[in-house]
Amino acid sequence: MPNQRLPMRQIREVLRLRYNCGLSHRDAGRACGIGRTATRDYLRRAKAAGLSWPLPDGLTDEELEARLFAKPHLPSSPLRPLPDCEYIHNELCSYKKDVALTLWQLWVEYKEAHPSDGYEYTQFCEYYRRWLGKRDYSMRQDHKAGEKVFVDYATGPSIVNSQTGELAPTVLFVGVWGASNYTYAEASFTEALPNWIQSHVRAFGYFGCCPRVLTPDCLKSGVLKACLYEPEINRTYAEMATHYGGVVLPARPRHPKDKAIVENGVLISKRWILAVLRHRTFFSLVELNTAIRELLEVLNTRLMRKLKKSRRQLFEELDRPAALPLPGQPYEYAEWYKALVGRNYRVDVAEHTYSVPHRLLHDKLDVRLTATTMEAFFKGQRVAAHVRSYVKHGDTVNHEHMPPAHQQYAGWTPERITTWAAQIGPATALLVARIMATRDHPVKAYQSCFGILHSLGRHFGNARLEAAAGRAVRFNAYSYRSMKNILTRGLDRLPDIQAANAQTLLPFHENIRGKEYYH
């Protein structure tokens, strides 16, 4: 049998020379440039198919080929159940990465279901391979100019710690334009969201323009939940794409041909960048990226063999004129959080609490956190904004977010209370200062001072309040209850000796029982 099938016109010529001209097998084959064995095989096939010379009128090359080279077919008896090739393919694809599932195991299961009339292993595999051969097709993708940039990661060179000698692995970010194959590459330590976003921002700066569509693989930094129909895009990534006027359309899961451009771009980057750097040692990420940028220029300016143009030339001709312009400011990295408003009308984000309007108590908010700002959104509307604080377990409050009663109370400060007390008299000012110095929390001091100045002062007058404050200071009675007891009993009107005796007989603190209690 010939190793390579001849064109039908030559086979026709072999039949003509043999049957019409009467040449021998050797001579007919020699005239057509083939060997005697191949000539005999073609003539044998023609005899088996009932063909001689002249061939039937209207017989096309396709029909002639089908009659000479008829494919053997497996019996399709209705008594024999056919393997479910779709099921077999889905099983192999679904479990390929998890367990070592084989065609043999699937055939065993098939035979268990059809022990007497099922096909044997050889025919089972032949059915599946024939079905797979018809199914394995691909569509050529013609990318519009200025439309798509494909992005992906590859394994990068390691960086040596100059102090310890330890190796720190890196990853190589690669972005490729669909129409021109214009390429950007840079190294980072991880594929985490901040590195992922900043690599995009620097890539757009390198390109000098933006695509309308970003097509990443389904890595977690870009796609939270992969789905064929409705993939869930990371909100920060989607916001970044919107900032540049584009949209994120990830490749389908387990369909590498959807991003064949970047797969090839990764391969090219490995050949023209990583392979060149394989013998070099790098001690910092900046040093590595400087070397990558130099080789990137070589890659984008070298002429491609078939097109006789460089990637940069194609980019300037195709992608740049049709791409989107860069916005005025690059994207500022931001992370999104879900936060529940607590009873203190605060949200806890990144180990710091921020106030929001008190009307949003117990509501869920979307919080956007950048390097400088914190913004809270409710149903798409911004309801609060603060300067970001990096104080762990700290609290940032806008007094306008408080209820009216809390605003009035929160307006009090040590300076305001001290000034108010000084207007009444020096004894009152000293008493207030002692109270604030002896309390373990400012809120407790504010409560005591406000009760003395506002409540007792309004009821007994400033003159009696000043006298009572002098008595309280002499007896070290720094509390609202002591002041109230002095004023209620009239001790502020007694001379100092009588007040001292009264103070001895009648202690100010209600929890002091006296010696009689223990008899």
The number of beta carbons lying within 10 Å of the beta carbon of residue 60 is 9
Same domain, 158 and 218: yes
Question: Where does the pLDDT of residue 196 fall: very low under 50, low under 70, confident under 90, or very high at 90 and above?
Answer: very high
pLDDT tens digit sequence for 58-79: 788 788 888 888 765 555 555 6
Same domain, 295 and 423: no
| Cβ(248)–Cβ(226) below 8 Å | no
How would you classify the pairing of strands 148-155 and 213-216?
parallel
Structure-token pair, residue 123 = 């025919």
pLDDT tens digit sequence for 27-57: 777 777 788 888 888 888 888 888 888 888 8
Distance CA 372, CA 386 (A): 9
| Cβ(30)–Cβ(2) below 8 Å | no
Whether 514 shows a pLDDT value over 60: the answer reads no
6-20, 243-257, 424-438: which has the highest mean pLDDT? Answer: 424-438
Quote the domain boundaries for residue 113. Answer: 85-135
Distance CA 103, CA 367 (A): 51
Q: Looking at residue 491, what DSSP letter applies?
A: G
The number of beta carbons lying within 10 Å of the beta carbon of residue 362 is 9
Cβ burial 369-403 (10 Å sphere, 16+ → b, else e): beeeebbbebeeeebbebebeeeeeeeebeeebbe
pLDDT of residue 146: 87
Same domain, 384 and 511: no
pLDDT of residue 299: 92
Whether 102 shows a pLDDT value over 70: the answer reads yes
pLDDT: is 459 or 80 the higher one?
A: 459
| Cβ(376)–Cβ(387) below 8 Å | no
H or E stretch at 207: helix 193-207
If you compute the radius of gyration of the chain from its CA atoms, what whole number of angstroms results?
Answer: 43
| Cβ(225)–Cβ(231) below 8 Å | yes
pLDDT of residue 418: 85
Whether 4 shows a pLDDT value over 60: the answer reads no
Alpha-carbon torsion, ordered 329, 334, 339, 345, to 10 deg: -50
pLDDT of residue 300: 93
CA dist 119 → 81, 349, 464 (Å): 8, 63, 111
CA dist 368 → 279, 347, 399, 419 (Å): 44, 12, 21, 41
447 assigned to some structural domain: yes
Distance CA 239, CA 375 (A): 14
Whether 99 shows a pLDDT value over 60: the answer reads no
2 assigned to some structural domain: no
Q: Is 473 exposed, middle or buried (0-12, 13-18, 19+ CB in 10 A)?
A: middle
Same domain, 364 and 480: no
Domain total of the chain: 5
Same domain, 153 and 225: yes
Q: What is the CATH number of the domain that holds 55?
A: 1.10.10
Secondary structure (3-state) at 177: strand
The rounded percent of the chain whose pLDDT value lies above 70 is 84
80 assigned to some structural domain: no
Mean pLDDT of the chain: 82
Query: In the predicted model, what is the mean pLDDT of residues 349-362?
Result: 90
327 assigned to some structural domain: no
375 assigned to some structural domain: yes
436 assigned to some structural domain: yes
Which of 348, 379, 407 is where one domain is finished? 407
Secondary structure (3-state) at 234: coil
| Cβ(414)–Cβ(375) below 8 Å | no
Secondary structure (3-state) at 320: helix
Same domain, 374 and 466: no
Same domain, 166 and 256: yes
Helices (H), 439-508: 442-450, 457-460, 462-474, 480-489, 496-505
Phi/psi for 185 (5° steps) reads -145, 145
The number of beta carbons lying within 10 Å of the beta carbon of residue 160 is 15
124 assigned to some structural domain: yes
For the chain, helix, strand, coil in percent to 5 are 45, 15, 40
Secondary structure (3-state) at 256: helix
pLDDT of residue 8: 79
CA dist 355 → 147, 160, 311, 348, 394 (Å): 43, 45, 52, 9, 11
Same domain, 161 and 217: yes
pLDDT tens digit sequence for 386-403: 999 888 888 888 888 888
Whether 2 shows a pLDDT value over 50: the answer reads no
Same domain, 236 and 361: no
pLDDT of residue 132: 78
Same domain, 402 and 425: no
pLDDT tens digit sequence for 265-312: 788 888 888 888 888 999 999 999 999 999 999 999 999 887 788 999
Structure-token match 């790098």, residue found:
282
Same domain, 94 and 62: no
Cα atoms found within 13 Å of the Cα of residue 503, Cβ hemisphere only: 21
pLDDT tens digit sequence for 145-185: 888 899 989 889 999 998 888 999 999 999 999 888 899 99
Query: In the predicted model, what is the mean pLDDT of residues 319-334?
Result: 91
pLDDT: is 221 or 441 the higher one?
A: 221
Same domain, 440 and 466: yes
129 assigned to some structural domain: yes
Which of 322, 343, 360 is where one domain is finished? 322
Whether 498 shows a pLDDT value over 50: the answer reads no
Q: How far apart are the first and last CA of the chain?
A: 127
Structure-token match 């209207």, residue found:
58
Question: What pTM was estimated for this model as a whole?
Answer: 0.53
